[in-house]
Homo-oligomer: A and B are copies of this chain.
Amino acid sequence: MGMGLARTSTRTMSNMVQLTSERYPGLSRGNFASLEETDLQRFRDILGPGRVLTAPEEVAGHNTDWLRTVRGQARCVLRPRDTQEVSALLGHCGSRGLAVCPQGGNTGLVGGSVPVFDEVVISTGLMTGVESVDTSAGVVVCQAGVVLEALDTRLEEVGLMVPLDLGAKGSCHIGGNVSTNAGGLRLLRYGSLHGSVLGVEAVLASGEVVDCLSSMKKDNTGYDLKQLFIGSEGTLGLITRLSLACPTRPKSVNLALLSLPDFPSVLDTFRECKGHLGEILSSCEFIDKGSMDCVTQNLGLTCPLEESDFYMLIETSGSKAEHDEEKLQLFLEEMLTRGTVSDGTVADGPGKQKDIWQLRERIAEALLKDGYCFKYDISLPLSVFYDSVTVMQERLAGLGVTRCVGYGHVGDGNMHLNITTPTYSQEVLDRIEPFLYEWTSGHRGSISAEHGLGFKKRNYIHFSKSDSAIFLMKQIKQVFDPKGIMNPYKVLPDQ
């Protein structure tokens, strides 16, 4: 899988991903210094030899993205333990002009988390300290490398939760989540990271530490700089520590899986569940038939409902089980009576709920098994939400595409549109892009709702942002990182 087309290639291992520099031959390496033995020696002085990885088998995984669509050529991976070490490493890279790729759990979907050429990888993998948990205010302060699921488990002990959940929770780092402004399954309820991150500490390209690590819920003293680090994908600095507002963990969670005859019924159900479930609604996801087929066929999972054109997951989280169940029951009865919903099941207990969540959370993994996956993550007005899938299905007819499917966060207007092929196909890509971006922009949607721009989408930024905004972004980049060493070739468009 993810093999790339047979073009001239230096691939030596048969299942290795094509180098990014080969797949994108128009791209040229920036004017950065090249790594020398003296640099490695300096890194070893700072970290000790055990945390400077240079063996090809140790470095390989850090060069390739999870989707197996891009591959960089970093020769070394640095594994600092704390802010001071990150500062010393970046101080050296900055003064030498060495380009750097900050890396968390490497679960990004737009090629933002791996090097493009030979950038030095600085991994947050060893920065896993949870420094404090204020249970009465509901605030955690931690290092950037804590795995999302581990952080949530730690908070569960004191009755709190991370206000963020996504399929990659077992591998992604909270610092990476913040750097990419990850959205996920419960944004509908708990809001975006721009609201829940209370503070950020980051290290700039110069090695300077910027302390915006407030742990107060409210702080209106000057420009809110931490917001710039949220979602800038490591191009302005490397996030080392952060503080996060954490909601009280719900005492009662209910999950319903519904089948629906058509997309208007999905929208109707969304509108109705907002009214009926109100403050206890914690997730509203949809899955089309093609996505459900993929997860059952490719992963062998079982859908407990009869086959249908659309499915939805509706989750409630509340403080009193009887109340929540009563609200959910009334809502489901009304939807079934009306015929808006064809069938439904309510999962009782965490085990059954987890089984149902897998049908949604493992779609990305299932799609990869088809071979190559072209992934799109767009925001759209609900009136044209599913048109994005049908328009692309028509446009790709006859091109040998395996699937063209949609699923995602309908409650947030966020569509995950995915097209799979047996292997990478330039013809398919050219048929999708820039058409899909133009179509999305025409509806005033966003060409990247939550995945970010990373490497793959940076040159399409103008479909969602004005020239004046892009110009300001470039000037801000210049302020934070004058030499441009922080995660180059990402987020901002090529000249």
User: Does B275 lie within 8 Å of A225, measured CB to CB?
Assistant: no
A279 CB-CB contact with B under 8 Å: yes
CB distance from A432 to the nearest CB of B (A): 17
Segment 460-495 of A: residues with Cβ below 8 Å from B: 461, 464-466, 468-470, 472-473, 475-477, 479-480, 491-492
Q: For A218, list chain B residues within 8 Å (CB).
A: 183, 187, 192, 379, 409, 412-414, 446, 449-450
Taking each of A138, A215, A457, which has the highest tally of chain B beta carbons within 10 Å of its own beta carbon?
A215
User: Does B468 lie within 8 Å of A210, measured CB to CB?
Assistant: yes
Asked whether A220 and B452 contact (CB < 8 A) given A137-B382, A472-B479, the answer is yes
Contact with B along A304-344 (1 / 0, CB 8 A): 00000000000001111001001100000000000000000
Q: Name the residue on B nearest A473 (C-beta).
A: B223
A30 CB-CB contact with B under 8 Å: no
- Count of A residues near B, CB < 8 Å? 92
30 contacts between A and B (CB under 8 A): A137-B382, A138-B274, A181-B224, A191-B195, A191-B196, A194-B195, A211-B468, A212-B465, A212-B466, A214-B446, A214-B464, A216-B379, A216-B444, A216-B446, A216-B449, A218-B379, A218-B449, A220-B452, A221-B446, A222-B461, A222-B465, A222-B469, A222-B491, A223-B236, A225-B473, A277-B319, A279-B280, A323-B323, A323-B327, A475-B479
Ranked 3 nearest A-B pairs via Cβ: A195-B195, A278-B319, A227-B227
Known contacts A192-B195, A214-B379, A218-B446; 12 further A-B pairs (Cβ under 8 A): A180-B220, A187-B217, A194-B224, A218-B379, A221-B453, A221-B461, A222-B473, A223-B491, A224-B228, A248-B274, A275-B319, A479-B479
Binding site for B on A (CB under 8 A): 134, 136-138, 180-181, 183, 187, 191-192, 194-196, 204, 208-212, 214-225, 227-228, 230-232, 236, 248, 250-251, 267, 270-271, 274-280, 317-320, 323, 326-327, 379-382, 409, 412-414, 444-453, 457, 461, 464-466, 468-470, 472-473, 475-477, 479-480, 491-492
